[in-house]
Amino acid sequence: MAKLQHEEFGPAGGPVLVLGGSLGTALRMWRPQVEALADRYRIICYDHRGHGGSQVPPGPYTMDDLGGDVLALLDGLGVDSFAYCGLSLGGMVGMWLAAHQPGRVRRLVLLCTAAHLPPAQGWLERAARVRGAGITSIADTVLARWFTAAMPGTDPRVAWCREMLLATPAEGYAGCCEAIAMMDLRPELVRIAAPTLVVAGALDPATPPTFAGQIAAAVPAARLTILPDAAHLSNVECPDSVSGLLTEHLESTDG
């Protein structure tokens, strides 16, 4: 297992909410949601292996690796039952957790993600490019997929997201690309028992709404919401909408 960097916010005795981020980000991407929910939840934000302040073992990684890291972190913190919200790669880890540990995941929110994201060769080529030429070689392309055209490049949120991306270790980014290349969680979705909210950005070129629809159709207790003005990093571009949906789902008595 890799040791994961994490930070906690909110009351120690509150219900636990775990937040897992996108490929190429760090835990501070959740700043808007922490500000909105930390008054009532014990929020645990973490960096995936190879990201932020977490350990960077040599790749390739697998979803078993990424999910196992999170379980080890939570076991070390004495957390048994928790709600989980993940975006993109974080959502993939969330599906893995909810399918493999259905008794532990109370509620699940999946933002701008997919259970299977072909073609694998594209991810392997990206991993090779990052290892060879560094994160800077893909930064502009990635940022263009994270935000809509309505989000100006001068917006400070774009600047700090670029900083997160460029600070990601190349080996960690590449290893996670390889995990996505090998991933196919579709057969496991039926095992997810937690009430699940699936959120897509209508303008997301990285994980278009079709992928969210496939997840919502396969998870027994799922519902789908599409944000009309969001691209991939929906929690950053549309923070109020995402925080509101997250709050509503966590506090719902349905399921």
How many helices (DSSP H) and strands (DSSP E) are in the chain?
A: 10, 7
Burial environment of residue 141 by CB neighbours within 10 A (0 to 12, 13 to 18, 19 or more)? exposed
Predicted structure pTM score: 0.97
Is-contact 103 126, C-beta < 8 A? no
pLDDT digits (tens, 9 = 90+) for 2-43: 999 999 999 999 999 999 999 999 999 999 999 999 999 999
Whether residue 176 has pLDDT greater than 70: yes
Region 212-230 average pLDDT = 97
Residue 199 DSSP SS3: strand
Region 102-110 average pLDDT = 97
pLDDT-based confidence at residue 255 (cuts at 50, 70, 90) = low
Lowest mean pLDDT among 75-84, 161-170, 246-255: 246-255
Q: What is the Cα–Cα distance from 100 to 194, expressed in whole angstroms?
A: 12
Q: Look over the chain and give the mean of its residue pLDDT values, rounded to a whole number.
A: 97
Q: What is the Cα–Cα distance from 132 to 134, expressed in whole angstroms?
A: 6
Residue 77 DSSP SS3: coil
Q: For position 68, what pLDDT does the model report?
A: 98
pLDDT digits (tens, 9 = 90+) for 127-171: 999 999 999 999 999 999 999 998 888 899 999 999 999 999 999
Q: For position 153, what pLDDT does the model report?
A: 81
Q: For position 151, what pLDDT does the model report?
A: 87
Q: For position 227, what pLDDT does the model report?
A: 98
Q: Say if residue 60 is preceded by a cis peptide, omega within 30 of 0.
A: yes
Q: What is the Cα–Cα distance from 126 to 253, expressed in whole angstroms?
A: 42
**What is the sign of the dihedral through the CA atoms of 229, 233, 254 and 17?**
negative
Looking up tokens 């599409």, which residue turns up?
Answer: 226
Q: For position 108, what pLDDT does the model report?
A: 98
Q: Any bridge partners for residue 226, and if so which?
A: 200
Ordered structural domains, the chain, with CATH: 6-251 (3.40.50.1820)
Length of the chain in terms of residues written: 255
Q: What is the Cα–Cα distance from 65 to 82, expressed in whole angstroms?
A: 20
Q: For position 152, what pLDDT does the model report?
A: 83
Is-contact 178 124, C-beta < 8 A? yes
The rounded radius of gyration (Å) of the Cα atoms in the chain is 16
Whether residue 81 has pLDDT greater than 90: yes
